[in-house]
Structure 1
Amino acid sequence: MKIVLVGGGKVGTALARQLSEEGHNVTVIDTNKARVEHIGESYDVMSILGNGSSITTLSEAGVEEADVFIAVTGSDELNLLCCMFAKKAGHCHAIARVRNPSYSHELDFIKKQIGISAIINPEMAAAKEISHLLRFPGASKIDTFAGGRVRLIKFALTERQGLDGVAIHEIPTRLKSDILVCAVERDGGVIIPNGNFVLQNGDQVTFLATQEKAHEFFQRINMPVRPVRNALIVGGGAIAYYLSQELLENHVRVRIVERDPARCNVLAESLPEAQILNEDGSNRDFLLSEGLESTEAFVALTNIDEENVLLTLFAKKHSKGKLVTKINRLEFDDILAGLDLGSIVYPKYMTCDYIVQYVRALQNEAGNNIKTLYRILDDRVEALEFTVHEESRATGVPLSQLHLKKNLLLCCITRGDNILIPRGGDQIQVGDNVIVVTLEHGLHDLRDIVEE
């Protein structure tokens, strides 16, 4: 597909890399000469120096023939303007990143008026993910499928869980838990396990279950399941605003530490039920005086990654609460993985995942659409949800007779109101939603899970 991408920042660069690796013809537009040269030299894409809202620049990029147009500059208004011009000049699907909370209640109206296919708000998505984590604090990562009914949950295995030396096939009978272990991180590698795989303390385990089954499983392995009742948030940006709204609706006590007095006034007006504290979040004595040691959740949301990391490490030393750390840069995730920072949230990954999912779904509109896509475990594993629209070599055959690709696990089938952890005798049917976890990147269609 021909894709025009405006904005060569962190998200734009990550998208250019991912989309070009998947075989798309990508053209990147940016006003920063250094960015344009870096992207053009580093990836198999065409890069143009220019303004994405200029019809001349858009024509040079070939927007008239483009299938998809993506605007991820630092300005919401510029992104919307670029998409509007692209829709006028061509017949492409247009996707815009819009982050300002002022637009959050108007997104449907904006989409309809401009004709944009999708609007992405990474800060709102990050806030929802953090909210899920604070409602289920034993998990270090939660991804949702089937409209929130099915969850992919990651946790660290310690002596407390009593699963060291237990084979995966023993879990349902030993714990009477209907869950499916989908991936295990061990010694820097990732394994898609079979039933004979034996768990070890120190493993990072990712499993799939309904919310109720996950709750029961965590109770049986001595993991915390009670939602947090109070949260201390450092940094009063857009994510803090969206998160506080979610938490206050769930009767969680919220305190936000923000150093900018003007921003504190804005937060105080828009979040009257929250406690807004005008102070430098890196003031350790202040954090301790405000009850850091007793808080049930500490969330580091400043705009500086290094500050978030140090704040979380300080909180870990003084608190037993749930820790959440926001990270903007994508380049150092391998280093951060070696630090115990609780749950790490990458808003920029969420933007990339959504757009890659959307583009893949466009490639097979008549086939088996990708409904949901997550790149998990440091981008080494993909978890995908397919909607089955038609019969194929993957349907109507008992799963035990399907020759699935290596390093791939068919985790779940949702059929109407029923959620199935699949067994060998089950079959995929038209109308099902099917969840797959795989080490292979680039699956576009359900047919791709079967060996040729």
Structure 2
Amino acid sequence: MARRKAGAARDGLNIILVGCGKVGVSLVEKLSQEGHNITVVDRQAAAVSAVTDLYDVSGVVGNGASYRVQQEAGIDEADILISVTASDELNLLCCTVAKKAGNCATIARVRTPDYSEDADYLKEKLGLAMVINPEREAALAIARLLCLPTALSVTSFAGGHAEMVRIRIPQGSKLDGRYLRQLGKELAGPVLVCAVERSGQVYIPDGGFQLASGDALTFICPSRDSKQFLGRMGFETHQAHNALLIGGSKAAYYLARRLLAVGVQVRIIEADMARCGNWRCGIIC
């Protein structure tokens, strides 16, 4: 059963999105704003109707892993198929069928820890362009902040080998009142100050830019060098030693594993003891 919505052709990519849950709807919102041609697929007619009524996208009601349904959704002309249903197995199957049925890149949401640990293998063997795991990414972001407590945000990229760190310059800091060219030895090495936010404005600084307390400074450097740079600038760099997590969700699992790996003791409050027992691995419940 199909629900098509005619609209003006756009110059963006042709994208098939399987799954109209929260993640799927968020992706539709972002991708439609960028001008892509989107077709959503879901087994629930009401979910497809809700998305197609709200956004300028087409919709197909059916099983996204079905060859017939993918044909109806336009797999022959698709550039990308993204599968974000609640089932990891269905997401992987959708992408496998799409690779055989069309000539497009495929992206699968995989949340189960067993599959996530095999992400590189799955990407290679199934020809996936990307495996996404929102819970794992959220956990890694939290872990980076706990390991660098003075940062406003820490974004990892290049496979975790580099970080973009955002900090606020406090009153009396070594950075307060200094020109970037004066930092000299402190900036020696692969540290690049790439942006400064001040009074609602964003500046791309050069050597003549004078820093001031209250500025939000963003710099990029190899992950191993961020603590060293902040330490030289007088920022607190001691990571947390203990963590208490409320709830034994998948995100908690990924966060606990990451914190344990860097020497943080983890305790979890979870009503279901069986859930904790399934993955203690050094965690106290």
Global fold match (TM > 0.5):
yes
Partner of 2:150: 138
Q: In the alignment, which residue of structure 2 is the partner of 1:273?
A: 282
1:28-67 to 2 correspondence within 5 Å? 28-67=40-79
If the length of structure 1 is used for normalisation, what is the TM-score? 0.54
In structure 1, the residue matched to 2:163 is: 151
Tell me the CA shift for residue 35 of structure 1.
4.1
Check whether the contact 1:153–1:206 (CA below 8 A) recurs between aligned residues: yes
Contact 2:172 2:213 in 1 (8 A): no
- Cα gap change, 1:124 to 1:31, in 2 (>3 Å): same
Aligned to 2:24: 12
Contact 1:40 1:46 in 2 (8 A): yes
Q: 1:241 to 1:16 in 2, by over 3 A?
A: same
2:111 paired residue number: 99
2:244 matched to which residue of 1?
232
- Do the aligned partners of residues 42 and 182 (structure 1) sit closer, same or farther apart at CA in structure 2, a change above 3 Å counting? farther
1:176–1:245 distance in 2 versus 1, CA, 3 Å: closer
* Percent of residue pairs bearing the same amino acid type: 44
The aligned runs of 1:180-219 (5 Å cut-off) are 180-211=192-223, 213-219=225-231
Find the aligned partners of 1:210 and 1:109 in 2 and give their Cα distance.
26
Aligned-residue CA RMSD (Å): 2.7
- Letter in structure 1 aligned against 2:104: C
Q: CA deviation at 1:7?
A: 1.5
- The ranges of structure 1 where at least 4 consecutive aligned residues each deviate by more than 6 angstroms after the TM superposition are none
Gaps of 5+ in 1: 277-452
Name the structure, 1 or 2, with higher relative contact order (CA <8 Å, separation 6+): 2
Distance 1:45 1:185, change over 3 A: farther
What displacement does 1:46 show?
2.1
Which deviations, in whole Å up to 9, do the C-alpha atoms of 1:377-427 show, x marking residues without a partner?
xxxxxxxxxxxxxxxxxxxxxxxxxxxxxxxxxxxxxxxxxxxxxxxxxxx
Q: How does 1:383-394 map to 2 (within 5 A)?
A: none
Unaligned runs of 5+ in 2: 1-12
* Alpha carbons 1:177, 1:213 under 8 Å: kept: no
Stretch moving more, 186-195 or 246-255: 186-195
Q: Deviations over 1:33-92 (max 9, x none)?
A: 454344334444323333323333222111122121110112212212222222232222
Map 1:253-268 onto structure 2 (within 5 A). 253-266=265-278
Residues 290-301 of structure 1: pairs in structure 2 closer than 5 A = none
The answer to whether residue 139 in structure 2 is matched with residue 127 in structure 1 is: yes
Q: d(CA) in 2 for partners of 1:102 and 1:163?
A: 45
State the secondary structure of the residue aligned to 2:32: helix
CA offset digits 1:80-123 (Å, max 9, x no partner): 22222222322222211010113233334444554433322232
* 2:259 aligned with 1:250: no
Is the contact made by 1:160 and 1:222 (CA closer than 8 Å) also made in structure 2?
no
Secondary structure of the 2:52 match is helix
- Shift in CA distance, 223/273, structure 1 to aligned 2, threshold 3 Å: same
Partners of 1:211 and 1:80 lie apart in 2 by 32
The letter of the residue matching 1:275 is: I
SS of match in other structure, 1:247: helix
